[in-house]
Each structure stands twice: as C-alpha cells, then as structure tokens.
C-alpha cells in the first residue's frame, strides 16, 4: 500500500473517499449530509456508503461514524478506519482516500488502521487476496506522526509475515539470517557449541530432539547517548510439537506460531533502527524447535541453566520457559535496566484471558503498570496475573531446584514464577504471555484476518520511544 499525501483529497480520482461523521456535526460532503439516513447512529465504526454516480472524483463516499468528537482517541480512529478499509475491499477498491473534519491528528492512526486491515498472508496462494494499493491523506496531517505510523505498520506486517510462515521456512537458522541482515543493528548468533560453552543447558536440552540446529540470536541497537538499556526477549520456538510429551493433533496445528514473539522482537529491532530512540535496545531470541527426535530431552532429565539452577523435566511440552530461562540469565548479565520477555507461553493464559488480553507479570509494579498503560494507548490490552509463592511451591522437586511444571491449575502464574528464578533482583522485569493474543484461528474484530497479530509490537515500540 503506497501512502500519498495530497493537498486536496477531494480532487483525487479514487474508488472510495472515507469521511468522518461526528455526533452533532455535519460532514464536509453535501451528498452525505443529504443522503445519510436518520437512523445512522454515529456509533464508532458505523459505516454508510454512497455511490456518487460520477458526480465526484471518488466513486463512493464512505461515511464512518466516530462518535463524539471530544472523545476521539487513536484507538477509535484506528479501529474505525480498519473497518472502513474492510468495506472498501468488499467494494473492490484499489485507491482509497481519507479526510476527516477534525483538528485531531488522525493521520497516523488512520494509516495504521488501514495497514492492519489491508494485511493478508497470501504468499503461497496463486490467486492473491484483494488489496488496497494506494492510500491518500491530506498533506496538512502531522507528517512525523504519519511516518512513525508507517514504521509501526511495517513492523506489524513484518512480524505477521514471519510468524505466519510455515515452520519449514521460518527455521532457527532462517531467523538468525534475517536478524543478521537488519540494517543499523549489530547481530551476534551463537551456535550449539557456543550455547553449551555459555552454560545454557536448559535451552540446549529443548533443541536436542530436532535436526534443526538451535541459534541464539543477540541483536543490539546502540544510540549515541543512551538514557536507558532495555532488553526484549522473544520466545522463538520455530515449532512446538510438545517433544516426547507430544501434543494432540488439534493443539499442534498452530504451533508454527510458537515463534511469533521472536518475529515481533526482530520487527521491533528493525523499527528501532528507523526510529532511533535514545535507548540501548537488545533483542534476544533463543531459537530452536521442540521435537521428539531420537536425541530428544526426556521427562526426568535434570538440566542446569546458565545461572547454575537445576531443573527436573516434568513435561517436555513446557519448553518455552526452559529456553527463556537461559535467555533471561543472558539478558541480566548485560546489565540492562529493564527486561521484557514476550512469549506464547501457556495454554492456561489463553484459557484465563481468551484472545482479548495478554497476561502480564513481573517483579516491579510500576514497570508493569507503565506497560499496561502504554498498551491501552497503543490499542493492546494487558491483564496482570498474580505472582504468589503458592504457584512456585507447585514446582518444588525432590531431586532438583525446581520442576518445569506445576499442577493443572494456575499455569500462567506458575510459568511466571518459574521465569522469575532466572531474573536478578537488580533488573526490572516484565513477562508478557501472548499465547492467546499472538495468533488467532479465525478472523477477529471485523478487520483482523486469521493468523498472526504481531502482539506486543505496538506496545513495545511506543514504550521504548517514549523513554
Ligand atoms: N507453546 C505452548 C503454549 C501455547 C498453547 C501457545 C496454546 C499458544 C496456544 C507451550 O509451549 C506449551 O505447550 N505449554 C503447555 C505447558 C504445560 C505442559 C505445563 C501448555 O500450556 O499446555
Ligand atoms: Mg510446549
Ligand atoms: Zn511452546
């Protein structure tokens, strides 16, 4: 989708001109003011389409309700434009223009909304999905905000594309290659020998059952003057079969998405190189596959993580926390101020919160609060889950420092308590369990297609650039 800023949007010969309708305010179109039905309630995202029959440069005028102008937010604009774009696709539109009669800076969120709704993963289809390919905005929008929205849109597209890929494409080696190709980012990749040398025994064990070699990926963005150091870790299970504790077919079906957090971390690092915040940012991925091959790690094995703590393998399907344990140790050794891990970690989190919210846990209330608040503005929901000793007690082991799973209940919090064992007290840490939010099986919210959603991307980019 090409973005064009033009002086007079109404003069653009396009398929659809999207205009706003606020409560108690006329639109800027005589045609719309005349034909808008009385029962148009002006609800957020409500749509009415008018055919201009050649009387105007646009073939259709699409009126989108935006509620009360004084209550306008980026979220209202983004979601309403997303819905409008879906409608444009039904009208087979290629060229779409947007003009809202408000002083609110709508350019950025409008572009982001359009880009999210216009996304399809059709790389492997011979007949491609319909797409809007030209998007017009008036040139008096805040150009800087539009450019930032374009970077965020690109990051989301990149993350969604990579995590929608089959596991045969998005292997640990492929992720490492992609990370190494990022412009403006320094990337180091460690192979099995180096991973072993660093003492990452928990991570390495998970990788043992696969023919795909593990790749530990460390990306770094360094500004001239860093106000802060932040590490973002993404769970990078390029496929999670469950290992020897193999998953049933229905649960395994979407497990190529078990690296969607890793895809998001690569996307965030790419965005850093473009947005250039005054923050040193480390992107860390312990990439591997969890497979039941002949070399696979086994229930009852005892693993030693990088910080020396020992783990009894209770269930080989609780593999994400093993890879993250070593990644967290590594991040803490970098002496960062804050570390965030993003992970499709537990089905339990999905059961608790559904696909509506990401579970958040951590060791610092203010840090957690700041991420939740950033998410609200960025349009991603987070819900804090408890970190109580009771959840840790479930994982006591007779033969090691801990087991990798607890009871059937409270699984998201237990996983959080497990990870906490690998974080040092001097680092603020937040854990985002995106199991429910990163990948949706069916289209959602009228504009998100099935598959990857790029969970965490919008929140983390916003959080970092606002430091
Ligand atoms: N990758 C899964 C978690 C998951 C489940 C992500 C559903 C997305 C959708 C994770 O590795 C896993 O298998 N977790 C187990 C842990 C259990 C064995 C304690 C789970 O949640 O069932
Ligand atoms: Mg698993
Ligand atoms: Zn997993």
Tell me the per-residue pLDDT of 227-286, one tens digit each, with 9 for 90 and over: 999 999 999 999 999 999 999 999 999 999 999 999 999 999 999 999 999 999 999 999
Checking 120-128 for CB contacts under 8 A at 24+ apart, the result is 120/449, 121/160, 121/161, 121/164, 121/449, 121/451, 121/452, 123/161, 123/165
Q: How far apart are CA 134 and CA 5, in angstroms?
A: 11
Of all atoms in ligand 1, which is nearest to the CA of residue 344?
Answer: 6
How many alpha carbons lie under 13 Å from residue 205 in its C-beta half-sphere? 32
Residues 6+ apart with CB under 8 A from 364: 428, 429, 430
Of all atoms in ligand 1, which is nearest to the CA of residue 290?
Answer: 11
Q: How far apart are CA 457 and CA 124, in angstroms?
A: 25
pLDDT at 88: 98
Do residues 375 and 349 lie in contact, with contact meaning Cβ atoms separated by under 8 Å? no
- Nearest ligand for residue 237 CA: 3
- CA dist 354 to 104, 116, 345, 381, 405, Å? 33, 21, 14, 11, 21
Q: How confident is the model at residue 92 (pLDDT cuts 50, 70, 90)?
A: very high
Q: How far apart are CA 163 and CA 258, in angstroms?
A: 8
pLDDT at 81: 98
Pocket of ligand 1 (CB under 6 A): 240, 258, 315, 317-320, 344-348, 350, 405, 411, 435
pLDDT at 129 over 90: yes
Residue 454 zone, left/alpha/beta (φ > 0; ψ -120 to 50; rest): left
Which residue in this structure is represented by tokens 């906490």?
420
- Per cent of the chain over pLDDT 70 is 100
pLDDT tens-digit map of 315-333: 999 999 999 999 999 999 9
Q: How far is CA 323 from the centre of its chain?
A: 19
Cβ count within 10 A of residue 159: 29
Helix axes 260-275, 143-164, angle to 10 degrees: 150
- CA dist 403 to 333, 393, 406, Å? 24, 10, 7
pLDDT at 414: 98
Nearest Cα neighbor of 411 from 311, 320, 289, 299 is: 320
Sign (positive or negative) of CA dihedral 190, 196, 198, 201: positive
- Out of 87, 174, 215, 321, the active site residue is 321
Which amino acid residue places its CA nearest to atom 8 of ligand 1?
435
Which amino acid residue places its CA nearest to atom 22 of ligand 1?
347
Q: How confident is the model at residue 102 (pLDDT cuts 50, 70, 90)?
A: very high
Q: How far apart are CA 189 and CA 194, in angstroms?
A: 9
Q: What is the mean pLDDT of residues 158-187?
A: 98
Q: How far apart are CA 144 and CA 390, in angstroms?
A: 48
Ligand 3 centroid – CA 238 distance (Å): 9
**The token pair that represents 446 in the structure block:** 């009228």
321 classed as catalytic:
yes
pLDDT at 183: 97
Total residues found in the chain within this entry: 467
Q: How confident is the model at residue 446 (pLDDT cuts 50, 70, 90)?
A: confident
- Out of 59, 228, 247, 274, the active site residue is 247
- Nearest ligand for residue 243 CA: 2
Do residues 452 and 438 lie in contact, with contact meaning Cβ atoms separated by under 8 Å? yes
**The token pair that represents 116 in the structure block:** 């999210």
Residues 417, 421, 422, 427, Cα dihedral to 10°: 80
**The token pair that represents 415 in the structure block:** 């996983």
3-state secondary structure of 14: coil
Q: What is the mean pLDDT of residues 323-344?
A: 98
Q: How confident is the model at residue 67 (pLDDT cuts 50, 70, 90)?
A: very high
Residues 6+ apart with CB under 8 A from 323: 202, 203, 206, 235, 236, 237, 286, 288
Q: How far apart are CA 251 and CA 53, in angstroms?
A: 51
pLDDT at 167 over 90: yes
pLDDT at 232: 98
Name the average pLDDT for the chain: 97
Q: How far is CA 196 from the centre of its chain?
A: 30
Which residue in this structure is represented by tokens 């001109």?
17
pLDDT tens-digit map of 359-395: 999 999 999 999 999 999 999 999 999 999 999 999 9
Cβ count within 10 A of residue 29: 22
43 classed as catalytic:
no
């Amino acid at each position: 989708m090409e973005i064009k800023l033009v002086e007079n949007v109404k003069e653009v010969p396009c398929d659809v001109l999207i205009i706003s309708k606020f409560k108690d305010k006329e639109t800027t179109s005589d045609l719309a003011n005349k034909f808008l039905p009385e029962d148009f309630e002006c609800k957020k995202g409500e749509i009415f389409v008018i055919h201009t029959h050649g009387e105007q440069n646009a073939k259709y005028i699409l009126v989108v309700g935006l509620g009360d102008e004084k209550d306008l937010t980026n979220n209202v604009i983004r979601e309403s434009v997303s819905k409008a774009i879906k409608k444009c696709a039904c009208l087979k539109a290629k060229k779409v223009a947007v003009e809202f009669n408000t002083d609110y800076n709508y350019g950025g969120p409008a572009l982001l909304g359009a880009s999210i709704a216009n996304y399809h993963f059709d790389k492997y289809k011979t007949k491609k999905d319909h797409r809007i390919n030209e998007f017009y905005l008036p040139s008096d929008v805040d150009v800087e905000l539009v450019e930032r929205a374009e970077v965020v849109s690109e990051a989301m597209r990149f993350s969604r594309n990579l995590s929608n890929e089959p596991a045969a494409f998005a292997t640990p080696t492929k992720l490492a290659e992609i990370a190494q190709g990022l412009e403006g980012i320094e990337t180091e990749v460690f192979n099995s020998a180096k991973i072993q040398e660093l003492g990452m025994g928990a991570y390495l064990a998970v990788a043992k059952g696969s023919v795909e070699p593990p790749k530990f990926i460390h990306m770094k963005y360094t500004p001239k003057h860093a106000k802060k150091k932040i590490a973002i870790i993404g769970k990078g299970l390029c496929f999670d079969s469950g290992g020897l504790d193999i998953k049933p077919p229905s649960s395994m079906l979407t497990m190529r998405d078990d690296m969607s957090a890793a895809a998001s971390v690569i996307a965030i690092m790419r965005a850093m190189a473009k947005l250039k915040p005054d923050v040193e940012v480390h992107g860390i991925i312990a990439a591997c596959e969890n497979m039941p091959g002949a070399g696979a790690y086994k229930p009852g094995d005892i693993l030693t993580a990088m910080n020396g703590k020992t783990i009894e393998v209770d269930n080989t399907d609780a593999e994400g926390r093993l890879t993250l344990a070593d990644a967290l140790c590594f991040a803490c050794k970098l002496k960062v101020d804050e570390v965030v891990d993003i992970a499709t970690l537990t089905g339990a989190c999905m059961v608790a919160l559904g696909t509506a919210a990401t579970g958040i846990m951590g060791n610092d209330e203010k840090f957690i609060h700041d991420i939740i608040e950033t998410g609200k503005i960025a349009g991603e929901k987070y819900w804090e889950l408890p970190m109580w000793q009771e959840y840790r007690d479930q994982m006591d082991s007779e033969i090691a420092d801990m087991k990798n799973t607890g009871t059937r209940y409270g699984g998201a919090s237990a996983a959080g308590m497990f990870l906490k064992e690998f974080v040092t007290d001097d680092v603020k840490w937040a854990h985002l369990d995106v199991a429910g939010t990163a990948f949706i099986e069916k289209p959602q919210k009228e504009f998100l297609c099935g598959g990857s959603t790029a969970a965490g991307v919008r929140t983390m980019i916003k959080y970092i650039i606002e430091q």
